[in-house]
């Protein structure tokens, strides 16, 4: 959790400014839902860290292609992808998303270098699973993902979405992703008038993809647990979208107060009773 805060703070310090970086780090550090899952002793914060590292390094690589920092970013992205692969059952998804993004952005050489190295590493991991367990994915996939696609979507949408979004404090992140989607589409349509923000576009794509993944697998037996990365992602998206308004003290204060209130809401109404203590 501390590493995630540090990485996101440094990243937004480069991308935006010190005030925004500080506010996002503060909100990220005060999130009770993340605190709960860190205290759980499970792999959840490690998965969040791997996803954040992939996000940060693919954006840095996109911005610095063809330079020495760009090469270092590629190495760091490969390391983060490997880390993700051995963290959780779906650990291959974020690396594949990053590789696809590099291809979309026209960075073919970098995509092939990162993708080739990652695929070779993933093949070793999957080969070991086949040899040891007899099947390619971890037990959690076969234990949790079952039923038809329509049944899984219904389970996630009708059975879990209210708890995950409203009662776990993820509303700020989801609203920010929707706002970022609108801003990205508007920016793309008016590209001749305004510089297209590729970093925001990747963050929005990652957020939407992760929400779609949640629906596709039918949610999770622990509800919001795999969705923790949406907190730093959503805060960063919200900071980018709202940055023009932060020059006004009143607007900035209102936004921060609203975000903090919604984020801290689980302390009063979390559906997990042990959170109260």
Q: Decide: 271 and 163 in contact? Cβ < 8 Å.
A: yes
183: which residues sit within 8 A by CB, 6+ positions away? 197, 200, 240, 241
Give the predicted TM-score (pTM) of the model: 0.91
Q: Which residue has the higher pLDDT, 56 or 190?
A: 56
pLDDT attached to residue 91: 92
Give the residue-averaged pLDDT of 173-201: 79
Which range (96-110, 133-147, 196-210, 256-270) has the least confidence? 256-270
- Secondary structure class of 151 (helix, strand, coil): helix
Half-sphere CA count of 209, side-chain side, radius 13 A:
19
The highest-confidence range among 141-150, 176-185, 209-218, 261-270, by mean pLDDT, is 209-218
Encoding tokens for residue 6?
A: 């540090």
Give the residue-averaged pLDDT of 162-174: 87
Place of tokens 């794509």: 205
Helix (H) or strand (E) holding 45: helix 44-63
Q: What are the C-alpha distances in Å from 146 to residues 42, 149, 152, 217?
A: 22, 9, 7, 8
Q: Which residue has the higher pLDDT, 219 or 195?
A: 219
Quick one: pLDDT band at residue 124, thresholds 50, 70, 90? very high
- Secondary structure class of 178 (helix, strand, coil): helix
pLDDT attached to residue 193: 47
Q: Where are the alpha helices (DSSP H) in 133-192?
A: 139-144, 149-154, 161-162, 171-189
pLDDT attached to residue 186: 80
Q: What is the dihedral of CA 235, 241, 243, 249, to 10 degrees?
A: -80
| Cβ count within 10 A of residue 110 | 23
3-state DSSP of 183-219: HHHHHHHCCCCCCCCHHHHHHHHHHHHHHHHHHHCCC
Give the residue-averaged pLDDT of 82-96: 94
Share of the chain above pLDDT 90, in %: 53
Mean pLDDT, the chain, rounded, equals: 89
* Gap between the Cα atoms of 126 and 15, Å rounded: 36
Nearest to 208, CA basis, from 190, 186, 182: 182
Encoding tokens for residue 275?
A: 């959170």
Q: Please list, residue by residue across 132-170, b when 16 or more beta carbons sit within 10 angstroms of its beta carbon and e when fewer do.
A: eeeeeeeeeeeeeeeeeeeebbebbeeebbebbbbbbbb
Give the residue-averaged pLDDT of 142-171: 88
């Amino acid at each position: 959790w501390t590493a995630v805060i540090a990485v996101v703070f440094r990243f937004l310090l480069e991308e935006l400014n010190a005030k925004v970086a500080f506010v996002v780090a503060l909100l990220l550090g005060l999130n009770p839902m993340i605190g709960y899952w860190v205290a759980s002793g499970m792999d959840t914060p490690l998965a969040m860290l791997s996803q954040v590292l992939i996000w940060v390094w693919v954006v840095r690589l996109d911005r610095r292609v063809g330079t020495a920092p760009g090469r270092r970013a590629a190495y760091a992205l490969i390391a983060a992808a490997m880390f993700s692969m051995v963290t959780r059952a779906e650990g291959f998804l974020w690396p594949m998303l990053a590789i696809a993004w590099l291809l979309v952005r026209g960075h073919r050489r970098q995509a092939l270098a990162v993708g080739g190295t990652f695929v070779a590493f993933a093949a070793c991991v999957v080969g070991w699973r086949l040899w040891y367990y007899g099947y390619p994915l971890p037990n959690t996939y076969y234990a949790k993902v079952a039923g038809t696609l329509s049944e899984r979507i219904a389970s996630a949408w009708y059975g879990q979405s209210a708890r995950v979004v409203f009662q776990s404090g993820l509303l700020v992140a989801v609203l920010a992703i929707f706002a970022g989607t609108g801003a990205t589409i508007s920016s793309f349509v008016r590209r001749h008038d305004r510089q297209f923000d590729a970093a925001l576009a990747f963050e929005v794509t990652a957020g939407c993809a992760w929400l779609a993944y949640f629906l596709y697998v039918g949610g999770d037996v622990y509800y919001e647990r795999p969705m923790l990365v949406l907190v730093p992602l959503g805060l960063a998206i919200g900071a980018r979208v709202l940055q023009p308004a932060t020059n006004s003290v009143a607007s900035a204060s209102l936004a921060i107060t609203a975000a903090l209130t919604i984020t801290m809401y689980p302390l009063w109404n979390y559906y997990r009773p042990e959170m109260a203590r």
